[in-house]
Amino acid sequence: MIIDIWGTVALKVAAALLPLLALRNPAERPRRITRLLAWIGAAILTVYGAVLTTVGLLVQADVIRSPASADRRALMWHAYLWDPWFRLWGLLIATALLRSKTMTQPILVHARV
């Protein structure tokens, strides 16, 4: 169980640092791979957060039935607070990746002759 916890910690730290590595100097070599991995992470986080938030809200609205043994307070906590943060995290990573791409492209200056 301790190994599972530390594995999860390592994975979350990597997920937090990967976007920062993807935004570093474009002249550095492994940037393409880190950007691809960051895009994959952004997509996973966005979809994960959207799906879990939607399902949680449907459970709260009694559209989807939860088992009698389910902790309604925990389900509400996830639906309204915890799960939307994953979606926001993914969207923020995607936004940063999009903005960093346009910032690293060369700016063409047209000179008048």
Asked whether 94 and 39 are in contact (CB, 8 A), the reply is yes
Q: What is the pLDDT of residue 107?
A: 47
User: What are residue 64's phi and psi, to 5 degrees?
Assistant: -110, 130
- Predicted local confidence at residue 59, as pLDDT: 92
- 41, 61 contact by CB (below 8 A): no
In order along its 113 residues, the chain shows pLDDT tens digits of 777 888 888 888 888 888 877 777 666 666 778 888 889 999 999 999 999 999 999 999 989 998 888 888 999 999 999 999 999 999 999 998 888 875 555 545 555 55
DSSP assignment of 69-109 equals: TS-HHHHHHIIIIIHHHHHHHHHHHHHHHHHHHHHHSPPP-
Question: What pLDDT does residue 106 have?
Answer: 52
For residue 111, the model assigns a pLDDT of 53
The conformation of residue 113, written as its DSSP 8-state character, comes to -
User: Which residues, 6+ apart, have CB-to-CB distance to 32 below 8 Å?
Assistant: none
* Domain residue ranges in the chain: 2-100
Q: What is the pLDDT of residue 95?
A: 92
